[in-house]
Chains A and B, each alone.
Chain A
């Protein structure tokens, strides 16, 4: 009986987890864009999410862009081919990458089938608390990241496996927008995990001390 029931429950968990992760990316990207001043702050409005207020863009073009990306990311997450998402902030004038916000996506290993010792599923309130703390940490990174005083633009990169199913007319292989080694600093942020995914956040930034 248990072996018969297990797959369905897992499938539901995967789907739920994927939508949770996708939603998190949406709010994380919005928060980064607001906090790092990539778009004017008038473009954002406040929304209640995860038990706190989050700023979300009202710029239609940007919304469409994010939606398009997140739809594809959702598909990739379901097939488990995406390993990393990066929000890169680039200087408009010199086109040098200034910051890379990296979100590592790990698939949590399922315990073996003889799992009488199967752990209880993680409650959603706990996951939300973890997400909340990541978003708060993104907000608080403003205190140590270098101040950006030039116009910037951003790009979202997705690291996928070779075998990933990629719509060729929309997505293209691209430069990793690397920050040169001598001027790079990195800070590991918090992480959160569902029963299926574990997301580890990090920010690498250019710092000419």
Chain B
């Protein structure tokens, strides 16, 4: 530093001197004089001065370098401190991360334990459900078997009854046949009696006619006739009685048969009711089975879901599934109830049909009864008539006996009287018997009215009432179920709303369902765009960084030479970009050139074609020059060539040609032709045509001569 201070003044005057030299040229200072005076000393001094100057320069350079080094050192120290800080920060981060990791590990452990526990629980439940399912299935099978057995027994019983009824019908038919036979027999017998009576009549007539007188015979005839009619009548009554007895027997038989059938029917219905109950039970069990199955599937599904711990919505989904399950259960119950109702309705229908049937049979029996009553009334009438007749006859008989007694007691035929008495007794007996039968019939009728039809109807009615009550109960339960159903529907609505919201969460991508991966193609448009952008950004950043660095270097290193600066002014990145751009441009240039070349090729090919066409049509060859001139050579004489130059006329669109040179050859009359066509007529096509003609003539001539030669 001292030397610097020391040297600077020495330097300064010289500079001042040099600057002042121009203004004070004639003036010379002492130093100069001294120098002039002593050349040796001046040289020594100059040497000394140059040495001092060079040392000073080198010192300055060294100092500058020292400064630079110091600055670099400072920077490096700063960087070191930064690095230290960064290292510390990273260390802290690492610790924190390790802690986090440990925490996470602990959490995972607890979660795993929980999961294992839950899994065990669900397994247990699953097993239990499975067991339940198995037992239910067994029960179901058993019930089915029972049902089948019952069905079999009922069908058997039904067939047995059918057989019985058919056999009874057969019996009835047989009995009817027998009845008809008996009737026929009775008919025969009555015919025989008639015959016998006729014979007796004849005999009595003969008898009465021979011993007695005229009046006696007439009286006896009357008596005989009367007795005969009475006997006849009593026979008829007897017949009728027998017939009615038979009918009564038949009716009784039928009635007992009907009673038996009814009892059997009731027993069967009871059995059927039991079967119905079993059927409903089976339906219920099936429903339960389906529910259990579904529950099991649900559990399985949930167990699967539980394989990995999920987040909050699990509880929501669980409750949702539970509610759904309940809803399904209720629906199922509802269905079962409906089925029950239908069944009941069907049963009701069946019962109604049975009632109708019974009513029909009742009507039939009533009709039959009415017919029987009618016949009875007829019989009663006939009986009354007979009684009347009998009374009359008794009276008649009494008078007769009185008369006989008055006439002659000995004349009375005791045997006859006895016979008549016997007959009277018989009549009395018959009467009492008829009366008995009537009373019996009345009793039967009344019993049929009071007991025969009503009990079954009453039972049916009671049954009907019961059914109605059951139907009412079913309806009330249905109502209740409907209400419950509505409530469930409301909850379902609410849950669906939350479901929609949660779906929105998932749809907007804020929530990822558990056990789900989100995948996309590695090479997707968004990624491509991002890559492209990133690439451009990276390039620009690199370029910018390099430029900044360069700027910094330039600011620092003022000592560098201008040449060096010029060399390194453009950073490599910029150069790279420029080079890439250049390459691209070159590529486009190459493509353009290629295109141009192709066009040129096409153009030359086309122009060659054109020239050939001109040559073959016009008989001239054309050659176009760069400056627009056209050389025309005749096809038949290659020496006859002309050069034309276009002249731009003032009229637009037409360019005229001017003959500016001509070849060596050509026809002899060429000057003349030229004068005539070009100068006078100014029609180059005509000129060329005549030249072509001339040339052709000469060419033809030459060829002929050549051939001759």
**Which positions in A face B, CB cutoff 8 Å?**
62, 65, 68-69, 83-84, 86, 88, 90, 92, 95, 97, 100, 102, 104, 112, 153-162, 164, 166, 169-181, 184, 186, 188, 202-204
Contacts and interface: CB of A to CB of B under 8 A. Distances in A.
Which 6 pairs between the two chains have the least Cβ-Cβ distance? A178-B509, A176-B509, A186-B504, A155-B526, A204-B508, A102-B507
A153 B532 CA distance: 13
A177 B520 CA distance: 11
Interface SS majority for chain B: mixed
A178 B519 contact: no
Interface in B487-544: 500, 503-510, 512-513, 515-527, 529-530
14 contacts: A65-B525, A100-B509, A153-B529, A155-B520, A155-B526, A159-B517, A160-B519, A164-B519, A166-B519, A172-B520, A173-B518, A173-B519, A178-B509, A181-B510
B507 A65 contact: no
A24 B508 CA distance: 22
Contacts of A65: 521, 523-525
Contacts of A83: 513, 516
A57 B523 CA distance: 18
Given A178-B508, A181-B508, A204-B504, A172 B522 contact: yes
Contacts of A90: 526
Contacts of B508: 100, 178-179, 181, 184, 186, 204
A186 B519 contact: no
A158 B520 contact: yes
Contacts of B524: 65, 155-156
A204 to B, nearest CB: 4
A75 to B, nearest CB: 13
A161 B516 contact: yes
B518 A157 contact: yes
Contacts of A202: 503-504, 507
Nearest to B294: A112
Given A153-B529, A178-B510, A170 B521 contact: yes
B519 A172 contact: yes
A204 B300 CA distance: 33
Interface SS majority for chain A: strand
A159 B522 contact: no
B522 A170 contact: yes
Nearest to B290: A112
Nearest to B520: A174
A191 to B, nearest CB: 12
Contacts of B521: 65, 68-69, 156, 170-171
A62 B521 CA distance: 13
A65 B529 CA distance: 14
A129 B527 CA distance: 36
B526 A154 contact: yes
Nearest to A90: B526
Given A179-B509, A202-B503, A161 B517 contact: yes
A45 to B, nearest CB: 20
A104 B500 CA distance: 13
Interface in B281-298: 293
Nearest to B527: A155
A160 B512 CA distance: 11
B529 A159 contact: no
Contacts of A186: 503-504, 507-508
A104 B520 CA distance: 16
Contact of A204 (B507, B513, B515, B522): B507
Contacts of A178: 508-510
B513 A97 contact: no
B517 A166 contact: yes
A159 B516 contact: yes
A27 B307 CA distance: 37
Nearest to B501: A186
B297 to A, nearest CB: 9
A162 B516 contact: yes
Contacts of B505: 181
A190 B522 CA distance: 31
Contact of B509 (A97, A104, A173): A97
A160 B527 CA distance: 20
Given A159-B517, A170-B521, A204-B504, 14 more contacts: A97-B509, A102-B506, A112-B293, A153-B526, A155-B524, A159-B512, A160-B519, A162-B308, A166-B517, A174-B520, A178-B510, A180-B510, A184-B504, A202-B507
